[in-house]
Structure 1
Amino acid sequence: MERLKAYEGLPSAVAGSGKDPVNLPMIRHWCEAMGDTHPAYTGPDAMAPPTMLQAWTMGGLSGHTGRTEAYDELLTLLDEAGCTSVVATDCEQEYVRPLRPGDEVTFDTVIESVSERKTTKLGSGHFVTTRTDIRVGEDLAGTHRFRILKYAPVPQRETLPRPRPVVNRDNAGFWDGVRQHRLLIQRCTGCGTPRHPWLPGCNTCGGPDWDTVEASGEGTVYSYVVMHHPPFPAFTPPYAVALIELAEGVRMISNVVGVAHDKVRIGLPVRLEFQEYEDALVLPVFRAAPGRRPHETR
């Protein structure tokens, strides 16, 4: 721990700069991917969605200038200690001022903390948190904290309980519906916009009031990935994780079943069903519609 703690406070990027100025095309791509139609992100006075904060600092495949060796040295030290696997756990963002087209961002990143060794279901290891301060000129625009777990994976076992979803006051109604084999979609009672995942307010009009609509179960694969790594004992890779576009106009992430992982395609018609697991766990999944191909109409 003494060697690990020595890295706290060391920079991992100094005077980095964004590959491109804040720009409308990237804002448009982001909003289309997120389904965010808020008018503040379009027009001559557009601002960038606050959650894009980190996007302007990404180095892409070629990386960016200003990187130091401290972060790579820390990860190597953890590898040598047997913590050879990594998973991103969470991030936190603080917004100070909006970013607008034409702004050129610079940033500095520091290794903020390395935790004591922790034991998790994935294995034991250390949480590493970095903090990136993002500026426009001398002005702080926001702060992005990113946390990973570098861990030694536990040996895989034949059986392991399926991870349970995190249920909170904002999404409890959704999971109550799932337990009843009903897929409920939030709908703003102010502007009528459906939304998923469940949120406390409408991201179109800002209204706090809503009701629910039960999904028909019809959908198509909007996008997908095939998971090979990292392995997790409760799952058997490779398997497909898809972004499903429901007939009601919202999208949700789930598994595609009833078809081999390498046969999943964008546009594949699917149908909702519910799978039950141990400990009364019920999850919505989507089965490939038999006899229909991607983009095939009825």
Structure 2
Amino acid sequence: MPATVAGKGKDPVNLPMIRHWCEALGDTNPAYTGPDAIAPPAMLQAWTMGGLTGHTARTTAYDELLGLLDAAGCTAVVATDCEQEYLRPLRPGDELTFDTVIESVSDRKTTKLGAGYFVTTRTDIRTAGELAGTHRFRILKYAPARQKQPPPQHRRPRPVVNRDNAGFWAGVERHELLIQRCTDCRTLRFPWLPGCNACGCLDWDTVRAVGDGTVHSYVVMHHPPFPAFDPPYAVGLIELAEGVRIVSNVIGVPYDKVRIGMPVRLEFQRYDEELVLPVFRGVMG
């Protein structure tokens, strides 16, 4: 069944298009440059493409076939593969004509995407009446299979636990906020690091925070909304009594009442069976 009859390439084979193709693909084959240049064979389809305005030589056969498949419930489409056969090289100045036929429609097939039909078109490309190559293009027109959707997981994101911070998260699970302390210069550090950023020592122990702090800075989160969160809410940079700072939620007071310098008190809040996080309850004067 013909889909395109006596179509014409919109441009002759030309060196600028060859150059752009080779630059895009990083192809430095010398056969594609110079006075005796040929076009890369894989460009075969490029010379026949209709661009945004299409080709006037198209028939209605292909669209009618897709319409029939739509009516049969095969409303989705995916390209599956293409095959090209090269019979003679194309050179700058060659003007191309082509004909496209619907070569085959398969029996109904069942795939993971859904049940449908493979439709194959074949385009014969000629120059000066001589067959230069053939391009086959295959799609699957199918009825989407029903996918079992897992229930939405409105859970807070999990912290990234690694060998450098595992001790901190183990402490949080025990409702302890642990601060690293260098065993050499005794500098406290947070967040946890493999070594001291003051003296470079790799040895450390921990100090348990007493839990008192103040809001050093804060932001109120409005967007983007996530299912596990309920904006607007305040996120504070909390300066602990020990002198280090931690980012966490400020709870217990309206978000628009949080202020820099506000006293806060450490609490541990369980969000689900796996996740406990340190948060800070604001103390309003």
Given the two structures, how large is their TM-score scaled by the length of structure 2?
Answer: 0.52
Within 5 Å, give how 1:116-131 maps onto structure 2. 116-131=107-122
1:149 corresponds to which of 140, 153, 156? 140
Q: Shift of residue 157 of structure 1?
A: 2.4
2:44 partner SS: helix
Q: Shift of residue 155 of structure 1?
A: 1.8
The AA in structure 1 aligned to 2:64 is E
Q: Corresponding residue for 1:215?
A: none
Q: Shift of residue 138 of structure 1?
A: 1.0
1:144 partner SS: strand
Structure label with greater radius of gyration: 2
Q: Corresponding residue for 2:20?
A: 29
The AA in structure 2 aligned to 1:66 is A
Q: Corresponding residue for 1:64?
A: 55
**CA distance, structure 1, for counterparts of residue 79 and residue 16 of structure 2:** 28
Q: Corresponding residue for 1:112?
A: 103
The AA in structure 1 aligned to 2:57 is G
Q: Shift of residue 119 of structure 1?
A: 0.7
Within 5 Å, give how 1:1-298 maps onto structure 2. 10-158=1-149
**CA distance, structure 2, for counterparts of residue 95 and residue 65 of structure 1:** 26
**CA distance, structure 2, for counterparts of residue 51 and residue 141 of structure 1:** 12
**CA distance, structure 2, for counterparts of residue 81 and residue 57 of structure 1:** 31
The AA in structure 2 aligned to 1:17 is K
1:36 partner SS: coil
**CA distance, structure 1, for counterparts of residue 82 and residue 91 of structure 2:** 23
**CA distance, structure 2, for counterparts of residue 14 and residue 38 of structure 1:** 34
Given the two structures, how large is their TM-score scaled by the length of structure 1?
Answer: 0.50
**CA distance, structure 1, for counterparts of residue 50 and residue 3 of structure 2:** 14
- Unaligned runs of at least 5 residues, structure 2: 151-285
**CA distance, structure 2, for counterparts of residue 45 and residue 93 of structure 1:** 23
Per-residue CA deviation, residues 146-167 of structure 1 (Å, 9 max, x unaligned), is 00000011123236xxxxxxxx
**CA distance, structure 2, for counterparts of residue 157 and residue 31 of structure 1:** 45
**CA distance, structure 2, for counterparts of residue 32 and residue 118 of structure 1:** 40
Query: Aligned pair count?
Result: 150
**CA distance, structure 1, for counterparts of residue 149 and residue 114 of structure 2:** 16
Could you list the runs of 4 or more consecutive aligned residues of structure 1 that deviate by over 6 angstroms after TM superposition?
none
- RMSD value, Cα: 0.8
Alpha-carbon contact 1:17-1:65 (below 8 Å) kept: no
**CA distance, structure 2, for counterparts of residue 43 and residue 137 of structure 1:** 23
**CA distance, structure 2, for counterparts of residue 30 and residue 123 of structure 1:** 36
Q: Shift of residue 35 of structure 1?
A: 1.2
**CA distance, structure 2, for counterparts of residue 44 and residue 158 of structure 1:** 59
- Unaligned runs of at least 5 residues, structure 1: 1-9, 160-298
Alpha-carbon contact 1:48-1:100 (below 8 Å) kept: yes
Q: Shift of residue 30 of structure 1?
A: 0.8
2:27 partner SS: coil
The AA in structure 2 aligned to 1:149 is L
**CA distance, structure 2, for counterparts of residue 27 and residue 157 of structure 1:** 47
Q: Corresponding residue for 2:210?
A: none
